[in-house]
Amino acid sequence: MGRLAVIHRIHNKQGGEGAARNAYRHEVRGKQHAICCALGVAFLLGGALTSPVQARADLSESDFFDDLPVVLSASRLSQPLNEAPAAVTIIDRDMIRASGFRDIPDLLRLVPGFSIAYTRDNTWAVGYHGMADAFSRRFQVLVDGRSIYNAGYGAVNWGELPLSVDDIERIEVVRGPNAASYGANAFMAVINIVSKDPSQTPGAFASVQYGEQGMAGVTLRHGGSQGDLRYRMTLSAQARDRFETRPSDASDTLYEETRTYFLNGRADYRLSATDEFSAQFGVAVGDWRAGSQRHPEEPPRQDVSAQYVQLKYHRAHNADDEWMVQAYFSRNALDAPHATPLVPPLVPVPTPFLLDAGGDAVQIRANIELQVNRRLAPDWRVVWGAELRRETAKSLRYFDTRDTLDGMLARAYANLEWHARPDLLVQGGAMLEHHYFTGTDVSPRAAINYTLAEGHTLRLNLSQAYRSPTFFEQKGSLTYYTTTGILLQQIAAPSPPLRPERIRSREIAYVGQYAGLRMQFDARLFHDTIHHYINGSGTPAQFDNRDDFTVRGGDVQLSWQPVPAFRLSAQYARAFIDAAPGVDNDLTESTPRNLFSLLARYDLGRGWAASTGVYRSDRVKWLAEGDITQPYTRVDVRLARRWKWQGTEVEAALVGQNLGRDYSEFRQENIFSRRVYGSLSLGW
């Protein structure tokens, strides 16, 4: 059946995701209706549980739940959620649509323990149980198996990712270390974004969004097939103006307007009954306005570009005997030419000088990987593989050299699954990895899944993972010069040899399926110890390894469908960081004590659907250049209707975001205000 066939099975299993779900798309406009929509949605959701029309006596438990969802990201083996060796959250198409989010990082608000904030310069801060800064350095982020983790600075380039929200099939998030499957930088979590197979996107599709705060977007897609060939092509343009501008003086004005355009395509060709070849490509360009007059050294304009090509050959004799070879090449470039008058006391030089604050950066990755899945015996399965990667980074500003920095990374891994008894599953795995900065490390994992009773599973998990230093952490040399070439100031200097960060994680978890209540629930307690934490200090700043600290807490997630028309997802996390002051003075405050999110969806009938999202975060200190932001509760609502018109599937939607009080993201001046946008989508 193969890996792609497993994905197809997943699509079919998630009830209601057939043609009706494909008809669902995106949003329309009108601020004057926002309050009415909010009240209407609240009333309808409140009445969902008491409506006698919905509570039909002839419904059986199977009308609400099939088996637990199948996941692929925890061990690289297809497994039901209760057999995975780690905690996994699935964000499916229904949740993506109902949330109303149009930026991929926002979707992580639906995962317990994740803190999300837009920072500046079209970048996002993403943290899991704390340690959140502007670079998302401690996650492995994959798109169809392609790593988009940035080796130069550790950032994830969310803003220039050539992928439309409309093309995402699902997102699997492994909550906790997973280096045994994905190597260095699968440190705190793995975020695996799976795009739609071309077979799911036949015909033409168009969507347009327009709303307040400079929000606009258009997406065009065409998919089709010819014999054994299936293909998909998507073109998109997106505009954003992130924050409310409320300056007390001109120097407070924020410039965060972005225009990003991208084109991507995918083609799958069935060579035989067992063999398939797949090719993908993507190109993105962006014109971003950023910075503020208060920080004249920050370029107010950036031109960005990203390209990738990905090839995959897959052979599957059956679901238990398959192998895959994958290769990809990616390039990300930033060009920010800018010269500005010096503003004392920024630097102690006469004002006639001009500061050359331009920043150019080019990062390239070339990767080839082999993966083999085998069933060794009726109760034994194994997946093993190897990967070779070359990474380069080049930036005169950030490394003070015109040379290209490069390094080779090699890894080999294996994960084994043994059904020792019908109620006992034992799993083990390890990744052997050689990194160009830190040498050879081994990341092992062992897990036991014990079935207490049908539908109730207890999991114990012990694992170790590493995060290797980035090029900037090890060799960064951030310098400012005048336009005449005079050195003004060195902000960062190369560091002494760094050891990789290491995390040792202990977890006990429970996964339950309550068919009578029509509910799925999982919860876990974790205790992580992080060694050799990498942090920078001094003038100029250098990175070094700090003392150990611990992160402990728990998180829960719930999916409940009491009636066919109503579905609710809820997530909660509570975490604490215990660290000595010398590790990082802000570290203990970098995790909110409590994080909560809720997404409720209700099918009103006759093509109408409504949803409400509630997102609550306690006070948090964002690391690096972030501030302390105060607790907030954000409420989003969405009201949509779909219908057919002359053979065309149409959906119109209205989305209101943050219908309560304004709040700050990452920096105190980053004010996220109430806003409304609408969308219209057509499929034919």
Is 659 inside a domain boundary? no
Is 241 inside a domain boundary? no
Token digits of residue 503: 């995390």
Alpha helices in 104-240 (DSSP H): 179-182
Q: pLDDT tier at 6 (50, 70, 90 boundaries)?
A: very low
Say yes or no to pLDDT of 376 above 80.
yes
The letter for the amino acid at 491 is: I
Nearest by Cα to 182 from 145, 236, 214: 145
Is 209 inside a domain boundary? no
Please give the C-alpha separations between residue 342 and each of 19, 23, 130, 338, 436, in angstroms, as whole numbers: 60, 55, 36, 12, 39
Domain containing 67: what range?
2-197+256-635
Nearest by Cα to 468 from 436, 432, 443: 436
Mean pLDDT of 284-301: 72
Q: pLDDT tier at 285 (50, 70, 90 boundaries)?
A: very high
Residue with tokens 């503020």: 292
Mean pLDDT of 399-410: 94
Say yes or no to pLDDT of 430 above 90.
yes
Kindly report the pTM of this predicted structure: 0.87
Across the chain, mean pLDDT equals 86
SS3 of 355-422? EECCEEEEEEEEEEEEEEEEEEECCEEEEEEEEEEEEEEECHHHHCCCCCEEEEEEEEEEEEEEEEEC
- Region of poorest pLDDT, from 63-72, 374-383, 450-459, 612-621: 63-72
Token digits of residue 218: 């258009």
Is 671 inside a domain boundary? no
Is 682 inside a domain boundary? no
**First-last CA distance in the chain:** 30
Say yes or no to pLDDT of 221 above 90.
yes
Q: Residue 221 in contact with residue 262, Cβ under 8 Å?
A: no
Q: pLDDT tier at 409 (50, 70, 90 boundaries)?
A: very high
Q: In this predicted model, what pLDDT tens digit does every residue of 631-646 receive, in sequence order?
A: 999 999 999 999 999 9
Mean pLDDT of 468-475: 95
- Region of poorest pLDDT, from 82-96, 330-344, 563-577: 330-344
Which residues does 360 contact at the CB level (< 8 Å), separation at least 6? 333, 334, 335, 336, 337, 395, 396, 397
Q: pLDDT tier at 46 (50, 70, 90 boundaries)?
A: very low
pLDDT of residue 244: 63
Token digits of residue 572: 């909660």
Say yes or no to pLDDT of 340 above 80.
no
Q: In this predicted model, what pLDDT tens digit does every residue of 148-166 receive, in sequence order?
A: 988 888 888 888 889 999 9
pLDDT of residue 20: 35
Name the domain count of the chain: 1
Is 232 inside a domain boundary? no
pLDDT of residue 621: 94
Mean pLDDT of 283-296: 75
pLDDT of residue 291: 63
Say which CATH number the domain at 573 has. Answer: 2.40.170.20
Alpha-carbon distance of 472 to 475, in angstroms, equals 5
Say yes or no to pLDDT of 292 above 70.
no
Q: For 578, what's the count of Cα atoms within 13 Å in the CB-facing half-sphere?
A: 6
pLDDT of residue 43: 33
pLDDT of residue 191: 95
Is 240 inside a domain boundary? no
pLDDT of residue 44: 33
pLDDT of residue 420: 97
User: What letters, b where the CB count within 10 A reaches 16 and e where it falls short, cover 426-439?
Assistant: bbbbbbbbebbbbe
Say yes or no to pLDDT of 458 above 50.
yes
Q: Are strands 189-195 and 139-143 parallel, antiparallel or unpaired?
A: parallel
Q: What is the dihedral of CA 410, 152, 628, 121, to 10 degrees?
A: -140
Look at 314 and 29; give whichever has higher pLDDT. 314
Is 641 inside a domain boundary? no
pLDDT of residue 113: 95
Say yes or no to pLDDT of 82 above 90.
yes
Mean pLDDT of 354-370: 83
Say yes or no to pLDDT of 345 above 70.
no
Task: Report the percent of the chain where pLDDT is more than 70.
Answer: 83
- Region of poorest pLDDT, from 112-121, 257-266, 276-285, 477-486: 477-486
User: What letters, b where the CB count within 10 A reaches 16 and e where it falls short, cover 471-489?
Assistant: bbbbbbbbbbbbeeeeebb
Say yes or no to pLDDT of 664 above 70.
yes
pLDDT of residue 328: 98
Say yes or no to pLDDT of 499 above 70.
yes
Alpha-carbon distance of 468 to 378, in angstroms, equals 38
Say yes or no to pLDDT of 681 above 50.
yes
Q: pLDDT tier at 354 (50, 70, 90 boundaries)?
A: low
pLDDT of residue 294: 61
pLDDT of residue 297: 60
pLDDT of residue 137: 83
Q: Are strands 257-270 and 380-394 parallel, antiparallel or unpaired?
A: unpaired
